[in-house]
């Protein structure tokens, strides 16, 4: 059935049928009224592309670099929590699919499979995403574990000091593994293949936390620990400390404001990700794609700018690149693929994005992704920087 999936929406429909509702909703939801979650997608659709004809469309290339790393296309698999609850061993399968496709994969702190488990199942370095907790000793150990695993970059998430209110998760009573309430048992019973796959793996908890954080030896103590640990005092001083401790490529995720972007550029980080956490934090914030042009114009000559949020097609990737993004991160598209068909489903999601990006670039009269700029934009609902050549690599 995966071969019949022509769009990310097709994979989403498959995932909805195969993943228990509480975990599908976790991937497919935003905060509060979900207005920002919806705007992330709809604002892409309002950007129009310029169609060009009678140009040479042969020998096209999507290859480029993200944070100094060669990539097959300017796309990375974003760090997502509970990935291993969309499909058994989800983080491992997604990392393997990304590796085969030549695009980066970032493992979340809140992953089900641990850093070490993903390292053991892959051949090339992946990236690691860090949430900063009050327990700094645990964070130091977590950074050291990522270094020991040879992770190629650290993605520091800045916009989760306080958890946004996500109504679907609250109503579903989300947990990992799921609680054995009648509602949850019914959800799992109606997804027998998912249950069978979960029975075949040991990875059912938060592998980076349980057994590593102080006083968290099992799931009974994890819930209270996580509620207390996200640090609302996180500041730019912490960014400097983490940068020094890590010593490698550092990417700051969660920038949506020009002033914050300027602070990030001054921090010495290697890249920023323009992001509103997929619409899962501040509902009513602007979409990532609408924030991108202003941030690129303000700091794009000082720091590499990426974006995430609302990307559902290769055309969305093309539009983001045209507006200045050096890298585009996809979360829900690969999660839908994972839920629909494991590693093969993630590979299919990446293939769909790649094919749409390639064809759309050609129909805009371009052959090399590195030459894409605002010149391919016909119309946008907000001001964009004047047409100019593509920015040099930072």
- Nearest-angstrom CA–CA distance, 93 and 99: 10
Angle between helical axes of 288-299 and 314-322 (0-180°, round to 10): 30
pLDDT digit string (tens) for 9-65?
999 999 999 999 999 999 999 999 999 999 999 999 999 999 999 999 999 999 999
**Cα dist from 139 to 10, 234, 242, whole Å:** 39, 13, 9
- Nearest-angstrom CA–CA distance, 17 and 339: 9
Angle between helical axes of 288-299 and 35-45 (0-180°, round to 10): 70
- Nearest-angstrom CA–CA distance, 283 and 256: 13
For residue 177, pLDDT over 90 is answered with: no
* Residue 288: inside a domain: yes
Active-site entry in 87, 167, 212, 277: 277
Instruction: Give me the pLDDT at residue 266, please.
Output: 97
For residue 346, pLDDT over 90 is answered with: yes
- Nearest-angstrom CA–CA distance, 317 and 335: 17
* Residue 325: inside a domain: yes
Instruction: Give me the pLDDT at residue 161, please.
Output: 86
Could you tell me what percent of the chain has a pLDDT over 70?
Answer: 93
252: helix, strand or coil: strand
Active site residue 87: no
3-state secondary structure 221-238: HHHHHHHHHECCCCCHHH
Question: Which H helix or E strand runs over 245?
Answer: helix 236-246
- Nearest-angstrom CA–CA distance, 1 and 202: 28
Domain span at residue 83? 2-47+64-362
Instruction: Give me the pLDDT at residue 226, please.
Output: 67
Instruction: Give me the pLDDT at residue 218, please.
Output: 52
The answer to whether residues 161 and 234 touch, using CB atoms and an 8 Å cutoff, is yes
Angle between helical axes of 332-363 and 90-101 (0-180°, round to 10): 20
* Residue 202: inside a domain: yes
Angle between helical axes of 314-322 and 35-45 (0-180°, round to 10): 80
* Residue 204: inside a domain: yes
- pLDDT mean over 195-205: 94
* CATH of residue 173: 3.20.20.70
* Cβ atoms within 10 Å, residue 46: 15
Torsion sign (Cα): 337, 339, 342, 343: positive
Nearest to 116 by CA among 29, 26, 208: 208
**Cα dist from 134 to 215, 226, 233, whole Å:** 14, 10, 9
* Residue 367: inside a domain: no
For residue 343, pLDDT over 90 is answered with: yes
For residue 121, pLDDT over 70 is answered with: yes
* Residue 387: inside a domain: no
* Residue 22: inside a domain: yes
- Band (pLDDT 50/70/90 cuts) for residue 271 is very high
Could you tell me what percent of the chain has a pLDDT over 90?
Answer: 81
The answer to whether residues 305 and 271 touch, using CB atoms and an 8 Å cutoff, is yes
Instruction: Give me the pLDDT at residue 392, please.
Output: 39
Instruction: Give me the pLDDT at residue 26, please.
Output: 94
pLDDT digit string (tens) for 205-253?
889 988 888 766 555 555 556 667 888 899 999 999 999 999 999 999 9
Instruction: Give me the pLDDT at residue 45, please.
Output: 97
The answer to whether residues 67 and 303 touch, using CB atoms and an 8 Å cutoff, is no
Would you say the pTM of this structure is higher than 0.85? yes
Torsion sign (Cα): 218, 135, 86, 148: negative
* Residue 59: inside a domain: no
Domains contained in the chain, number: 1
Instruction: Give me the pLDDT at residue 231, please.
Output: 85
Q: State the distance between the two ends of the chain, measured CA to CA, in whole angstroms.
A: 42
- Burial of 102: CB neighbours in 10 Å, binned 0-12, 13-18, 19+: middle
Q: What is the mean pLDDT of the chain?
A: 93
- Nearest-angstrom CA–CA distance, 75 and 317: 8
Nearest to 326 by CA among 376, 384, 370: 370
- Nearest-angstrom CA–CA distance, 276 and 288: 6
- Nearest-angstrom CA–CA distance, 336 and 38: 17
For residue 365, pLDDT over 50 is answered with: yes
- pLDDT mean over 78-85: 96
For residue 147, pLDDT over 70 is answered with: yes
For residue 179, pLDDT over 80 is answered with: no
- Nearest-angstrom CA–CA distance, 295 and 214: 39
């Amino acid at each position: 059935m995966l071969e019949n999936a022509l769009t990310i929406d097709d994979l989403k429909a498959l995932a909805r049928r195969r993943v228990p509702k509480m975990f599908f909703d976790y991937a497919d939801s935003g905060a509060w009224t979900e207005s920002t979650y919806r705007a992330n997608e709809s604002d892409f659709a309002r950007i129009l592309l310029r169609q060009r004809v009678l140009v040479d469309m042969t020998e096209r290339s999507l290859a480029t670099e993200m944070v100094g790393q060669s990539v097959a296309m300017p796309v990375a698999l974003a760090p997502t929590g509970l990935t291993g609850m969309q499909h058994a061993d989800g983080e491992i399968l997604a990392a393997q699919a990304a590796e085969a496709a030549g695009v980066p994969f970032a493992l979340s702190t809140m992953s089900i499979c641990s850093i070490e488990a993903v390292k053991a199942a892959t051949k090339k370095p992946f990236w690691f995403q860090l949430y900063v907790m009050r327990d700094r000793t645990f964070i130091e150990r977590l950074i050291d574990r990522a270094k020991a695993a040879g992770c190629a970059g650290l993605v520091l998430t800045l916009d989760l000091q306080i958890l946004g209110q996500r109504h679907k998760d609250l109503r579903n009573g989300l947990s990992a593994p799921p609680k054995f309430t009648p509602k949850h048992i019914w959800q799992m019973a109606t997804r027998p293949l998912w249950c069978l796959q979960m029975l075949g793996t040991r990875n059912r908890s938060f592998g980076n936390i349980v057994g590593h954080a102080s006083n968290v030896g099992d799931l009974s103590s994890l819930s209270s620990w996580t509620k207390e640990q996200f640090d609302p005092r996180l500041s730019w001083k912490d960014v400097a400390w983490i940068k020094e401790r890590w010593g490698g490529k550092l990417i700051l995720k969660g920038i949506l404001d020009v002033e914050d972007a300027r602070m990030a550029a001054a921090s010495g980080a290697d890249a920023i990700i323009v992001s509103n956490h997929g619409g899962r934090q501040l509902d009513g914030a602007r979409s990532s794609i609408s924030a991108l042009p202003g941030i690129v114009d303000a700091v794009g000559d000082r720091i590499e700018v990426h974006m995430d949020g609302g990307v559902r097609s290769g055309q969305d990737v093309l539009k983001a690149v045209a507006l200045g993004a050096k890298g585009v991160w996809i979360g829900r598209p690969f999660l839908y693929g994972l839920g629909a068909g494991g590693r093969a489903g993630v590979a299919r999601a990446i293939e769909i994005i790649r094919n749409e990006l390639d064809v759309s670039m050609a129909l805009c009269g371009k052959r090399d992704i590195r030459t894409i700029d605002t010149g391919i934009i016909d119309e946008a609902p907000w001001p964009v920087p004047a047409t100019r050549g593509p920015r040099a690599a930072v």
